[in-house]
Structure 1
Amino acid sequence: MNPTRFRSAWEIGRTVPGPRPLPPLRPRRPAEPPATADVVLDNGLRVLAARLATAPTVELRLYVPFAGPDPTHLAGADLLATALFSGTARRDRDRMETELGSIGGTLAAEADQIRLLVAGHGPASGLPLLLDHVADVLTGATYPEPTFTRDRDRCAQQRQAEGSQPQLRARAARRRHCYGDHPLGWPIPQPAHVLAIDVEWVRQLHRRAVVPRGSILVVVGDLHPDAAVEAAAGTLADWRSERVAAELAPAPAIGGAEPALVHQAGAVLSQIRLCAPAVSYPDRRYPALQLANQILGGYFSSRLVANLRERQGFTYSVRSAFEHTPGGAAILIDTDTANEVVEPALAEIGTELAGLGTRPPSAAEVAAARQYTIGNQQLAAATQAGLASSLLTLAAAGLDAGWPAAHAARLEGVTVDDVGAAAMEFLAPGRCAGVVIGDATAWRN
């Protein structure tokens, strides 16, 4: 074995100017899958526990499918999540916060068109208390009237603030354009819609929709998986219902169309928000399409960044990313430009979309995208919070904890031709739709 040789001060002082080649990356080590337990309880709740003892803490995620029939349901779901921890028959909000604070734990809820999500964090020794608080609100939330009124006002104020944020408005406009009347296309709830909901409506929604059958609980951390499942089974035994949690129906296929132009007087920038149809995790074409997306705009070495940011100077940031939805997926392309260059920016995006088919990715591009994708997947599972969120995403898609390792092997087998074929099938310019939001008076056409 040769000893490592370091350069001397004399050699360092006489280095030839200019770039030097980077040392090769070390061989990538396969990620070790965590020890897990995956059980469906008698009440229909799926519990997935995984051991990752990087710190003496635990992460908790509860996923309840929460689809509804109309936009009023979305406003009510938002309000239910805001007020979920306002009080139960056993604890008021102050007692909840005091007990969780005594162990350094947190619990919070949020809701959208797809699901109600409860997320928590705390010391490993505090898992029984976290589970007890979750069980308490699931089976005994009372939504006490004075507190509920304050929560409703706060929720309405948050929705009003969101309605003034350009990024959120642009996201909602794209969804309306791409998904139409499907729940994914519903607008952000307006403050008036939230304020019109009374406490009894929310209580009835809780009884009807917050049910275990079809829901998923994920617990990750410094724990023994079988013991964690047993603890969850005992604590949540009283959470029962004959109903099944409401899954969102698959969204309609995204059809290609010219971007819809939305005039926003006085806007300094134009927001380009495009979408293209895609496939999700279980589809055999997903690995190749995932690499095609990385090459297009999925990371800083992508073609969109090299063109729109580096060569043209049209934008500071441009990216493409998957949006996974129940039963499907889309690839989203986002960038903001000056109003004066929105047309050439759109033209260059079209050029890059077409170029993935007419100018197929090189072997070096595919290798770099593969290295980044697999490495990023491993990084996402390196922390307790990241692993909990990853396992929940996979479980909601009907996949198990072994999927990431199998997916990494599939990525290794993707060829240059596979990536080019996926790009031609899904990312041709004619398959995209979306919106452009900006001051139309500054647009040339």
Structure 2
Amino acid sequence: MTPATSQPAPRTAAQIARTPRGPRPVPDLGVQPPYRLPPMVDTVLPNGLRVVCVRQPSTSMTEVRLRIPCVPRRPEDLATAEVTAATLLRGGAGRDHWETDTLLARSGATLDAVRSPMWLNLIGSAPGGGLSVLLNVLTDALADPRREAAEVESAKNRLTERIRVVRAQPQVFAQEALRTHCYRDDPAVRDTPEPAALAAVTAGGVADFHRRTLTPTGSSLVLVGDLDPERTAAEVAALTGWWRGGAADWEPIRVPELRPEPIVLVDRPGAVQSQIRLVAPGPARTDPAFGAVSLANLVFGGYFSSRLVTNIRETKGYAYRTDSRFEDVKDTLRLAVEADSATGYTAPALREIRAELARLADGPLPDAEVESARRFLLGMSMISLASQATLATNLSSTLGFGLPPQWLTDFPEAVRTVRREEVEAAARRWFDPAAFTGVVVGDREALAPALAELGEVCDVNAVGAVGAVGAVGAIGSVSAVDELARRAG
């Protein structure tokens, strides 16, 4: 019998990291090459629809994103818009929703309609042979404003139940408490309907809203995939030649300016966790300093190596989740800071957030922190454009912001050249603690004594900022149902 061959003992990570000459050197990170947009056709059709077709044949699929302006102002329009989105693909061209779903499934295509605060978005994908089917289903849905009464009633019931479920989540409560504190009852920031308004929606009202609102002017259609851009643009033009109409018959909604008010305590009796939500005015994406502000935000709290994450999550353990980001509120951009904490650590977490804001604004910023943030931002920019789906989504969003497609590549290139001194100036300008307002949501009885010690930082007597009782029922609305349901997961 042949003796078994002995195997060397496995080495540990510490052993692998060393050589006879000392620690094994870590190779330098490679230089990230500039990203270039693939070949595309960018055209505006005679009816006002903007069509962008991009050839990126990484797979045999094509991603489709249609974005239609949909900014209701009145409560009844808000409810009708939600039902319109929920029923848009439930028929068309004489088909019921079962026939539509079967037609898409047999061609390997998917298509969904989602309403966000400013847009109605149709999101789909299809293999090469199924693109024509998807486009025909999409245009058929736009062409037919009629709704069956049973479909409308079913959609109303589904939406009412989803709103009830979403409103039970602390994240949603906190977001709406913040909106109410910042903007009071201004209709510009009401994103989803009340159940009573939903109950009043009729099939006739949905059809009328569809005709008035779902128009090509201001809309954009993005297609990214294994396609011929010229031929695809021509096919879209032929399919949508019938689609006419101007923009919606109301003025664009403008959000009021943020007021630099004290942070307020919003009561959720019995809650064992608290939500800290702070906001401050942010720069426009077209601002020359936007790249510098983006890097300052990352250094502060925008990624896993940021100061805020390191301080209150990793080192002190005051928060189990924290983040700093840009947030779109209708036509404006805000700086948003969030932290979720146990009740006993809420006041220390808020104190540290404000201390980190002050430290960032006072500077200086070490070169290593700026370079780390720059590498992260450039890497994430490349990842966001790498697949057909992410490129289509980001192109559609960029057009929605009123920016050209080239912004997706121009912005990362601008970030490469931002100097540390510019990031420090942006931090002083935009991250002043005095510019931030917001809410702390939690159990008032447990939180008030500790928060009161923060003095002018937190007004523990302003519970009425979201209603006299500070309960879920006192909050006017939640964020868009589909969007919040997606984010909450």
What band does the TM-score fall into relative to the shorter chain?
A: over 0.9
One of 414, 421, 424 as aligned partner of 1:417 = 421
Does 2:180 correspond to 1:197?
no
Give the match for residue 153 of structure 1: 157
Which stretch shows the higher mean deviation, 265-274 or 188-197? 188-197
Aligned twin of 2:111: 107
Question: Which deviates the most, 22-31 or 10-19?
Answer: 10-19
Task: Tell me the equivalent position of 1:121.
Answer: 125
Distance 2:94 2:172 in 1: 38
Where does 1:205-224 land on structure 2 (aligned, <5 Å)? 205-224=209-228
Partners of 1:295 and 1:184 lie apart in 2 by 32
In structure 2, C-alpha distance between the alignment counterparts of 1:399 and 1:13, rounded to whole Å: 49
Alignment of 1:232 onto 2:239: no
Spell out, residue by residue over 1:217-240, the C-alpha distance to the aligned partner (whole angstroms, 9 max, x if none): 111111121222111111111111
1:311 aligns with 2:315: yes
Indicate the SS of the match to 2:256: coil
Structure 2: 5+ residue runs without aligned partners? 1-9, 453-489
**Do structure 1's residue 74 and structure 2's residue 102 form an aligned pair?**
no
**Normalising by structure 2, what TM-score?**
0.85
SS in structure 2 of the partner of residue 430 of structure 1: helix
Mean Cα deviation higher: 355-364 or 52-61: 355-364
Query: 1:134 maps to what in 2?
Result: 138
Give 1:272-311 correspondences, 5 Å limit: 272-311=276-315
**Contact 1:184–1:251 (Cα < 8 Å) also in 2:** yes
Distance 1:57 1:288 in 2: 37
Following TM superposition, by how much is the alpha carbon of 1:397 offset from its aligned partner in structure 2, in angstroms?
Answer: 1.6
Matched, 1:25 2:29: yes
Whole-Å separation in 2 of the counterparts to 1:46 and 1:244? 17
Query: Bigger CA drift: 284-293 or 220-229?
Result: 220-229
* Mapped contact 1:175–1:184 kept (Cα < 8 A): no
SS of 2:95 mapped into structure 1: coil
Query: Any gaps of 5 or more consecutive residues in structure 1?
Result: 1-7
Q: Which moved more, 1:326-335 or 1:100-109?
A: 326-335
Measured in 1, the distance between the counterparts of 2:394 and 2:118 equals 17
Is 2:384 aligned against 1:383?
no
Q: Residue 362 of structure 1 is aligned with which of 353, 358, 366?
A: 366
CA contact (8 A) 1:43 1:212 kept: yes
Change (3 A) 1:249 1:277: same
Give the superposition deviation at 1:22: 3.1
Task: Give the superposition deviation at 1:183.
Answer: 4.1
Deviations 1:159-181 (A, max 9, x none): 11111121122222222222334
Amino acid at match of 2:338: D
Count, aligned residues:
438
Distance 2:417 2:16 in 1: 45
The answer for the alignment partner of 1:404 in structure 2 is: 408
Which of 155, 168, 175 aligns to 2:179? It is 175
Aligned partner of 1:261 in structure 2 is: 265
Question: What CA distance in whole angstroms lies between the structure 2 residues aligned with 1:89 and 1:118?
Answer: 18
C-alpha separation in 2, matches of 1:9 and 1:324? 50
Q: Cα deviations across residues 19-50 of structure 1 (Å, max 9, x unaligned)?
A: 86532111112112111111110111111111
CA distance in 2, matches of 1:332, 1:13: 43
Deviations 1:243-281 (A, max 9, x none): 457674332222222222110011110001111111132
In the alignment, residue 232 of structure 1 is paired with which amino acid? V
Contact 1:272-1:436 at 8 Å conserved across structures: yes
3-state SS in 1 of match to 2:91: coil
Indicate conservation of the 8 Å contact 1:274/1:435, yes or no: yes
Cα distance in 1 for residues equivalent to 2:400 and 2:313: 36
CA distance in 1: counterparts of 2:329 and 2:191, whole angstroms? 17
Q: Which amino acid aligns with 1:275?
A: V
Cα distance between partner residues in 2 of 1:120 and 1:207: 22
CA RMSD of aligned residues (A): 2.2
Moved more, 44-53 or 254-263: 254-263
Q: Counterpart in 2 of 1:3?
A: none
Amino acid at match of 1:15: R
Distance 1:322 1:209 in 2: 28
> Normalized against structure 1, the TM-score is what?
0.93
Matched, 1:15 2:18: yes
